[in-house]
């Protein structure tokens, strides 16, 4: 099937991109409301941090189980169930009157998030043709990026009206995404592909076999570094660096993060085709080199101009790292790869958990420059792993 001389991606890829946009939009809407809502319970800032980290922690520890569910029941059912769990727990969290119950609901939401993420990525990588796996991953990630850009701005306005409103709206978005998944993720678009809820032609690749592959290990190492910086240090340390080390306002921090997100969104327009046409190894090497170099810039003397350049370059590198490692995982495990995909996702989540803790401790003990230097070293490990891959 062609469109303008180019083969079209399977329908599932486009549907998953729309679902990813809705999920990220809702998550961005609720994120600014969490600190305000939690503080209304009369608790301190530590409790606010616990409310945020509990979601990430339970998402991490339940991801492997989510992969097992995918192998047993299929991606579509697990994806829809995960969205439903997050929707119900988020909506209920917006109605509770005490912090312990709110914390329990946020933790349960992390379990549902793991189910959705692993199922969606597993389905995406399985239905994508081998020659378009990079494009498919970039399209899926593009939905997350666009939703993540639009969500926080709307969330701040809604939280000002009522701290409960973003939670209820997010729950509605998730139910909408679940309905879209049920309605449209039924039949495969690619001839010969397995239906999302039928047994695959080949059995899932055992995890022990996957970890013996250098390509899979490289994908894990790179994804760990991406989680460390993109989902951890960038969101926790960068705003403090701008206000305390650069002496700028929070608006400058927001501008830097926006520059990075826009650069990543623009890069995703081409990165998928580069991964498919240029090759996995060179794309992974270039993406890792850009990401490593951009963070290494922050280890030098504080400069606002350097900070903005760093965020832009990192966004470009991240656009390649959003598609190349995922394409490698699909190359290693082309069948329904629940647990293989789950561990790949867990690598990013683990980086997102450890990165802010380690960087924060290094900043408190020494300075921001050391924290960014260590972060660059973590990303450099992915570059080394990419260079160690065979050229073909």
> Whole-model pTM?
0.82
| 286 closest CA partner among 270, 308, 303, 304 | 270
Q: What is the pLDDT of residues 93-113, one digit of tens each?
A: 999 989 999 999 999 999 999
251 and 288, same domain (yes or no): yes
Identify whether 197 is part of a domain: no
Looking at the fold, whether 234 and 172 belong to one and the same domain comes out as no
CATH of residue 28: 1.20.1250.20
State whether 135 and 64 are in the same domain: yes
> Is 158 found in the same domain as 239?
no
Q: What are phi and psi of 321, to 5 degrees?
A: -75, -10
Where does the pLDDT of residue 197 fall: very low under 50, low under 70, confident under 90, or very high at 90 and above? very low
State yes or no: pLDDT of 211 exceeds 80. yes
Q: Quick check: is 2 in a domain?
A: no
Q: Does the pLDDT of residue 295 top 70, yes or no?
A: yes
Question: What angle do helix axes 133-161 and 324-332 make, rounded to 10 degrees?
Answer: 130
Same domain, 222 and 171: no
Number of other residues whose CB lies within 10 A of the CB of residue 240: 15
pLDDT at 192 over 50: no
Structural domain including 295 reads: 207-392
CA–CA separation, 338 vs 371, rounded Å? 34
Residues above pLDDT 70, as percent of the chain = 90
Question: 162 with 300, same domain?
Answer: no
Confidence category of residue 203, pLDDT binned at 50, 70, 90: low
Give the confidence band of 187 by pLDDT, cuts at 50, 70, 90: very low
Q: Pick the range with the lowest mean pLDDT from 243-247, 252-256, 310-314.
A: 252-256
Q: Which of 155, 185, 215 is the last residue of a domain?
A: 185
Domain termination site, one of 133, 150, 185: 185
**Residue 113 and residue 261 share a domain:** no
Contact 42, 165 (CB under 8 A): no
pLDDT tens for 268-294 read 888 989 999 888 999 999 999 999 999
Does residue 148 lie in a domain region?
yes
Average pLDDT over residues 162-184: 86
Q: What is the mean pLDDT of residues 63-67?
A: 91
Q: Residue 194 — very low, low, confident or very high, per pLDDT cuts 50/70/90?
A: very low
54 within some domain = yes
Work out the mean pLDDT of the chain and round it to a whole number: 85
Q: Is 346 part of a structural domain of the chain?
A: yes
Taking the C-alpha atoms of residue 7 and residue 28, their distance in angstroms, rounded to an integer, is 33
Answer yes or no: do 133 and 238 share one domain: no
Does residue 192 lie in a domain region? no
| Residue of higher predicted confidence among 291 and 184 | 291
Q: Please indicate, yes or no, whether residues 172 and 274 belong to a single structural domain of this protein.
A: no
240 and 178 share a domain?
no
Let me know whether 354 and 391 are in one domain. Answer: yes
Percentage of the chain surpassing pLDDT 90?
36
Total structural domains within the chain: 2
Which of 112-116, 123-127, 358-362: highest mean pLDDT?
A: 112-116
pLDDT for 196:
44
In a shared domain, residues 125 and 224: no
Last residue of a domain, one of 185, 216, 248: 185
CA distance readout (Å), 25 to 167, 290, 328, 384: 12, 27, 28, 35
């Amino acid at each position: 099937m062609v469109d303008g001389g180019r083969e079209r991606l399977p329908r599932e890829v486009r549907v998953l991109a729309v679902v990813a946009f809705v999920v990220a939009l809702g998550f961005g809407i609720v994120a600014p409301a969490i600190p305000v809502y939690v503080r209304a319970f009369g608790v301190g800032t530590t409790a606010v941090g616990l409310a945020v980290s509990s979601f990430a922690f339970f998402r991490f520890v339940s991801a492997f189980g989510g992969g097992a569910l995918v192998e047993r029941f299929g991606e579509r059912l697990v994806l829809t169930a995960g969205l439903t769990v997050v929707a119900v727990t988020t909506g209920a969290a917006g109605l509770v009157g005490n912090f312990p119950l709110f914390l329990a609901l946020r933790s349960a939401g992390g379990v549902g998030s793991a189910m959705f993420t692993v199922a969606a990525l597993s389905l995406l990588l399985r239905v994508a043709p081998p020659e378009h796996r990079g494009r498919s991953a970039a399209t899926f990630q593009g939905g997350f990026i666009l939703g993540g850009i639009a969500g926080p701005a709307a969330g701040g306005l809604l939280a000002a009206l009522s701290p409960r409103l973003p939670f209820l709206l997010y729950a509605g978005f998730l139910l909408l995404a679940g309905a879209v998944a049920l309605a449209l993720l039924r039949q495969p678009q690619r001839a010969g592909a397995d239906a999302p809820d039928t047994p695959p032609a080949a059995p899932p690749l055992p995890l022990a076999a996957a970890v013996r592959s250098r390509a899979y290990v490289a994908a894990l190492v790179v994804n760990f570094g991406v989680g460390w910086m993109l989902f951890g240090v960038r969101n926790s340390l960068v705003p403090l660096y701008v206000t305390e080390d650069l002496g700028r306002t929070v608006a400058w921090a927001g501008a830097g993060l926006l520059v990075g997100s826009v650069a990543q969104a623009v890069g995703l327009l081409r990165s998928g085709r580069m991964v498919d046409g240029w090759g996995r190894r060179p794309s992974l090497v270039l993406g890792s080199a850009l990401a490593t170099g951009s963070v290494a810039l922050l280890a030098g003397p504080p400069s606002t101009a350097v900070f903005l350049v760093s965020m832009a370059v990192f966004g470009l590198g991240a656009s390649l790292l959003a598609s190349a490692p995922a394409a490698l995982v699909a190359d290693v495990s082309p069948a329904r790869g629940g647990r293989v995909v789950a561990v790949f996702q867990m690598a990013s989540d683990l980086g997102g958990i450890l990165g802010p803790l380690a960087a924060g401790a290094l900043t408190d003990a020494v300075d921001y420059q050391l924290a960014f230097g260590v972060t660059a070293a973590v990303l450099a490990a992915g570059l080394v792993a990419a260079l160690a891959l065979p050229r073909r």
